[in-house]
Amino acid sequence: MRPMTLPAKWAVAASFLLASACSTAPETTAPISQANAERDAHAPQQVAAWFAKASPEVLALPQTVFADNDESTNQLVFGVEHAGVARGVETALSRLGIPKSAYRVVVTPPIVLAVGLRDRWRPTRAGIQIHFGQYVCSLGFNADFGSPAERSFVTASHCTNKQGGVEGTQYYQPLSSVDPAVIAVEVDDPSYNGSGGCPRGRKCRTSDASRALYSSGAASDRGLIARTSGPNNGSLEVLGTFSITAQDDNNSTAVGQVVNKVGRTTGWTQGTVVGTCVDVNVSGTNIQQRCQTLVSSATAVIVKGGDSGSPTFRITGNTDVTLVGVLWGGSSDGTMFVYSPLKNIQDELGVLNATTSDVVLPPPPPPPPPSDCVPKGPNGNNCK
């Protein structure tokens, strides 16, 4: 997590000609077209006045893109999304008394907002910024939990008010100062403990992951990850999406495979798996994350603060991906990140559907019986 806080070279060729008593006829020049003559005849001040009238009229028309007073050609230029819009533009300009020689209409792609990973997203999707307390992290993935399905997202356990244990952490997107509506509340974050072979003096878990339940008014897209222009290029501008068409429920990712992530700080990055089921001590804490996966790059910084919680995935074809886990840390030089495999996450949080496909999930397990109760019955809910 991360605190908010040419030279041009001129060659001159000189030709020295003897002047003869009889001069030759001068060179002819190309004729000037009537349109060019009419264009050149318009005073720049007149074109500017036409622009002041024409711009608001033309840009009020549907599927117009821009209006420009092009001083280099002494013409007005109007951009439209397709040729069919040109007739309406010409009609509006004719009504204003602007001659055709004073303007041109060009077809141009529509101009859209450059939306980034740190901007507001509704519906939400994996890889974008989330805010809690005084920190920002990345949204790991949207998922359904249990039956009936609880619309949720998963992020890192340390992207809560307290790592391990449920405190009801409230999440905002992108920041509470931008949108004060709570989008989700933490509902599951198992405590760290020293059992199960955890080293003396350490607290352990097999995933740095927590689950938050969405508010009813916060729209979310399950199975989508924000996609930038390319891996390891530093871009945060979102140009499309990855679709989670499969999830690695068995921790099958192997050494040598390429794993990607998308996070709010470094965007889309990727590296090669260099270690699987690695036990990792977290610097500055007494926490050990057991059976984690290490991903490294020899040429790029692939993780920084604020990327915690990022989805990790393998690309299986074009924009289809297999979700493999959630990133939670990395090396101090940023060339290696560590993620908790999805199998470990589900072992601790329960079965999750993060794909674009609907599946029937089992109901969550029943709560544990009171300590003075001897369970009986098929569900273990009755006491005797």
Residue with tokens 């920002």: 136
Helix (H, G, I), strand (E, B) or coil at 136: strand
Integer CA distances (angstroms), 294 to 43, 254, 262, in order: 68, 10, 16
Is the separation of the CB atoms in 186 and 166 below 8 Å?
yes
Contacts of 273 (CB under 8 A, 6+ apart): 253, 254, 255, 256, 257, 258, 259, 293, 294, 295
Tens digits of residue pLDDT in 316-346: 999 999 999 999 999 999 999 999 999 999 9
pLDDT of residue 147: 92
Integer CA distances (angstroms), 38 to 34, 43, 247, 344, in order: 6, 10, 66, 75
Is the separation of the CB atoms in 165 and 189 below 8 Å?
yes
CA gap 137, 309 in Å, rounded: 6
* Residue 382 clears pLDDT 70, i.e. is over it: no
Phi, psi of 95 (to 5 degrees): -60, -30
Q: Output the DSSP codes for 27-92.
A: PP-PPPPHHHHHHHHS-HHHHHHHHHHHHHHHHTSTTEEEEEEETTTTEEEEEESSGGGHHHHHHH
Mean pLDDT of 117-131: 98
Can you list the domains of the chain with their CATH numbers?
Answer: 42-107 (3.30.300.50), 124-353 (2.40.10.120)
Is the separation of the CB atoms in 259 and 295 below 8 Å?
yes
* pLDDT above 90 as % of the chain: 79
pLDDT of residue 358: 77
- Please state whether 163 falls in left (phi above 0), alpha (psi between -120 and 50) or beta: beta
- Please state whether 100 falls in left (phi above 0), alpha (psi between -120 and 50) or beta: alpha
Contacts of 335 (CB under 8 A, 6+ apart): 271, 296, 297, 298, 300, 301, 302
pLDDT of residue 45: 95
Is the separation of the CB atoms in 192 and 181 below 8 Å?
no
Q: Output the DSSP codes for 206-262.
A: S---EEEEEPTT--EEEEEEEE-SSTTS---B--EEEEEEEE-TT----TT-EEEEE
User: Alpha-carbon torsion 347, 251, 152, 203, what sign?
Assistant: positive
Contacts of 334 (CB under 8 A, 6+ apart): 266, 301, 302, 303, 304
Closest by Cα among 120, 247, 240, 265 to 183: 120
* Residue 14 clears pLDDT 80, i.e. is over it: no
Closest by Cα among 191, 242, 197, 188 to 351: 188
pLDDT of residue 111: 82
CA gap 305, 288 in Å, rounded: 19
pLDDT of residue 114: 74
Number of Cβ atoms within 10 Å of the Cβ of 28: 6
Confidence of residue 25 (pLDDT cuts 50, 70, 90): very low
Which residue type sits at 59?
Answer: L
CA gap 175, 338 in Å, rounded: 26
Confidence of residue 384 (pLDDT cuts 50, 70, 90): very low
Closest by Cα among 288, 290, 297 to 266: 297
Nearest 5 degrees, angle CA 203-CA 204-CA 209?
120
Is the separation of the CB atoms in 257 and 341 below 8 Å?
no
* Eight-class DSSP state of 173: S
* Residue 9 clears pLDDT 70, i.e. is over it: no
Confidence of residue 200 (pLDDT cuts 50, 70, 90): very high
Tens digits of residue pLDDT in 286-318: 999 999 999 999 999 999 999 999 999 999 999
